[in-house]
Chain A
């Protein structure tokens, strides 16, 4: 080391010195950014089409191509989608469904996460006999197509008297959200050092004490992940929404389906697209706002198998 310092200056005078120059347009950068930009365009294309179409009038849609920007911007389709589009005799668009979706989503998200987090915690830290068996069945449940389960669920809900009521729908969302959420929480809690759990036990905290005072405050990242998954999942649900609700409590997705499929004369693509964007707005906003937390949360242990 010291020898290099003392080497004759002339030896290195023309050689590299100082920070290594960074080329902005190195081949690697062109490849990385080029690929990403192309992929990003592919991903953005449908959104672009949706937005552009929703701002056009019907004549323009019929004539032009779907990728050209609107010549004349109109918000009429948005107004119509939100407040005027008809299904059968109801002509109040999506507006009615918005609050219904909120009313369905909020309790479902809270309950499903509450239960799944406790499950994951019990599975990770309080392993009891047979826990693995139940967990395996639960994961099996993640694969069961919802359609297959409609009939048994109808019967179960009928037997416990919750069919057609909001608690029933909340229960259904909780049940079908449970497998993946439990997996996430279990993996996360497993990644928390076990000594922490042991220390808390020595300190006299019980099952719930440890859960609420130790585990919960440490689990913000995974709760964010779970919340994002559940909000989008439940908000986007159509099947349960349509089967387990009534017209005046239809969630937004059911209204969307109704609007899109109620063709009166010609298909109003602009209204359909506006309705589609409006319906997707809540989960989209959730993603745009908390996308960063989402990745961080997943990185924080959710994926450690």
Chain B
């Protein structure tokens, strides 16, 4: 009995990693749309190839639905093997409370500090000099997706920037299209607003407010212009009676809507629908005005587990997620940019190339998830979804309320 146990231990110790005893690792995430699911399947495949087993714990809805469940399970002492969070501060306190696995050793061994680009991604994972998460992709918000079919139906040219888009809206409306598709969830409203700040107010304005949290700037004329613009834009989104972002995207894909301000993850949906960038749809980074992208994205955290086998599997998964092949395979499907500067995305499509170019030029911003606490984010989201959907709120009132949030933002 004893001997066989020892033997078993030895054999597993000496076996190649691919032959290691299969360990089940439950991975929770909220990637359930078509493109997302296809992308996450790449991670699962790569992890399973390492001899372990990916137990998929997808929670549908959105981050808002999924995060409470994840947090409850981690604080309740029954954590999963790995879990998705957005880049930034969502898991900050969980890390502080010592509930998360320290990945520093692995990161140093694999020299993440050298390969992760931009470096800010890794910074978001770092607390007191220790690394606690694996950034897996770069997502940027600053895109508008335009449907060629919709514009063809309306008999106007596909716009090349935001101003043209607004100008063409009446024609679309006349053709029975919704000019601007927009889901009902609050994070979408806020995202679109943030993008419009950059497009209309400029990058510095954004930085002043979102990084320096300057209340005076939030009350400035510059931002007033943005609010005025949004108050016009919200009329363009009337009639998009959908909740989920991908249903809004679907309106663009099917030509029911002219365009959608949405992050680059929308790309995955176009891909699943077998649409070709430049031919069926057009993407305009920075809404065609200020070409810049934010470097938000998703990261995986690994809650501390008691089972050493599982811990080993966790490190394996972290390593797999950072690996070149997985990065390429995953990000191609997801429509996001890889976190490694040293991979070649030969098969990347038009839109991804645009993103890669901007990234290479260094025109990057942090994501507001990185600069704001979830609380402040949530407050802005509440305000924005109200503002977008309730036309009785004037731009002025909304701006004042916005400024108040910025005053106290953390």
Say whether A associates with B: yes
A150 touches which one: B40, B44, B72 (CB < 8 A)?
B72
What is the number of contacts between chain A and chain B, taking CB atoms within 8 Å? 100
Does A86 sit at the interface, judged by CB under 8 A?
A: yes
Instruction: Provide the A253-289 mask, 1 if CB < 8 A to any CB of B, else 0.
Output: 0000111111111110000000000000000000000
Q: Which residues in A have their C-beta under 8 angstroms from that of B239? A: none
Question: Cβ of B60 and Cβ of A261 under 8 Å apart?
Answer: yes
Question: Cβ of B72 and Cβ of A88 under 8 Å apart?
Answer: no
Question: Cβ of A89 and Cβ of B44 under 8 Å apart?
Answer: yes
Q: Which residues in A have their C-beta under 8 angstroms from that of B40? A: 88-89
Does B288 sit at the interface, judged by CB under 8 A?
A: no
B272 touches which one: A87, A158, A247, A264 (CB < 8 A)?
A264
Does A248 sit at the interface, judged by CB under 8 A?
A: yes
**CB-based nearest A residue for B245:** A263
Question: Cβ of A262 and Cβ of B55 under 8 Å apart?
Answer: no
Q: Which residues in B have their C-beta under 8 angstroms from that of A150? A: 68, 72
Does A163 sit at the interface, judged by CB under 8 A?
A: yes
Does A214 sit at the interface, judged by CB under 8 A?
A: no
Question: In the complex, what distance in Å separates the CA atom of A150 from the CA atom of B56?
Answer: 24
Question: In the complex, what distance in Å separates the CA atom of A301 from the CA atom of B347?
Answer: 72
Question: In the complex, what distance in Å separates the CA atom of A161 from the CA atom of B77?
Answer: 8
Question: Cβ of B73 and Cβ of A247 under 8 Å apart?
Answer: no
Does A299 sit at the interface, judged by CB under 8 A?
A: no
Instruction: Provide the B67-90 mask, 1 if CB < 8 A to any CB of A, else 0.
Output: 011001101111010000000000
Question: In the complex, what distance in Å separates the CA atom of A263 from the CA atom of B268?
Answer: 13
Question: Cβ of B29 and Cβ of A261 under 8 Å apart?
Answer: no
Q: Which of A229-267 contact B (CB under 8 A)?
A: 242-244, 246-248, 257-267
Given A88-B29, A248-B55, A263-B244 in contact, is the A258-B60 Cβ separation under 8 Å? yes
Given A88-B40, A243-B69, A265-B250 in contact, is the A258-B33 Cβ separation under 8 Å? no
For the complex, count residues of B whose C-beta is within 8 A of A: 36
**CB-based nearest A residue for B272:** A265
Does B170 sit at the interface, judged by CB under 8 A?
A: no
Instruction: Provide the B22-38 mask, 1 if CB < 8 A to any CB of A, else 0.
Output: 00001011011110010
Question: In the complex, what distance in Å separates the CA atom of A252 from the CA atom of B250?
Answer: 28
Q: Which of B113-129 contact A (CB under 8 A)?
A: none
Question: In the complex, what distance in Å separates the CA atom of A263 from the CA atom of B253?
Answer: 14
Does B20 sit at the interface, judged by CB under 8 A?
A: no
Question: Cβ of A265 and Cβ of B76 under 8 Å apart?
Answer: no
Question: In the complex, what distance in Å separates the CA atom of A163 from the CA atom of B56?
Answer: 20
Question: Cβ of B60 and Cβ of A262 under 8 Å apart?
Answer: yes
Instruction: Provide the B220-256 mask, 1 if CB < 8 A to any CB of A, else 0.
Output: 0000000000000000000000001011001000000
Question: Cβ of A242 and Cβ of B32 under 8 Å apart?
Answer: no
Does A154 sit at the interface, judged by CB under 8 A?
A: yes
Question: In the complex, what distance in Å separates the CA atom of A158 from the CA atom of B61?
Answer: 26
Question: Cβ of A87 and Cβ of B60 under 8 Å apart?
Answer: yes
**CB-based nearest A residue for B44:** A89
Q: Which residues in B have their C-beta under 8 angstroms from that of A263? A: 32-34, 244, 246-247
Question: Cβ of A157 and Cβ of B244 under 8 Å apart?
Answer: no
Does B57 sit at the interface, judged by CB under 8 A?
A: yes
Does A26 sit at the interface, judged by CB under 8 A?
A: no
Question: Cβ of B244 and Cβ of A154 under 8 Å apart?
Answer: no
Q: Which residues in B have their C-beta under 8 angstroms from that of A265? A: 34, 246, 250, 269, 272-273
B59 touches which one: A155, A242, A260, A267 (CB < 8 A)?
A242
Question: In the complex, what distance in Å separates the CA atom of A262 from the CA atom of B60?
Answer: 5
Question: Cβ of B76 and Cβ of A89 under 8 Å apart?
Answer: no
Does A164 sit at the interface, judged by CB under 8 A?
A: yes
Would you give the shortest CB distance from B129 to chain A, in whole angstroms?
30
Question: Cβ of B37 and Cβ of A88 under 8 Å apart?
Answer: yes
B37 touches which one: A89, A248, A257, A259 (CB < 8 A)?
A89
Interface CB pairs A-B, < 8 A, 6: A87-B32, A89-B40, A164-B73, A246-B26, A264-B272, A266-B250
Residues of B bordering A, CB below 8 Å: 26, 28-29, 31-34, 37, 40-41, 44, 54-61, 65, 68-69, 72-73, 75-78, 80, 244, 246-247, 250, 269, 272-273
Residues of A bordering B, CB below 8 Å: 86-90, 150-151, 154-155, 157-158, 161, 163-165, 242-244, 246-248, 257-267
10 tightest A-B contacts by CB? A88-B58, A164-B78, A264-B34, A261-B60, A262-B32, A89-B56, A163-B76, A258-B60, A247-B57, A262-B60
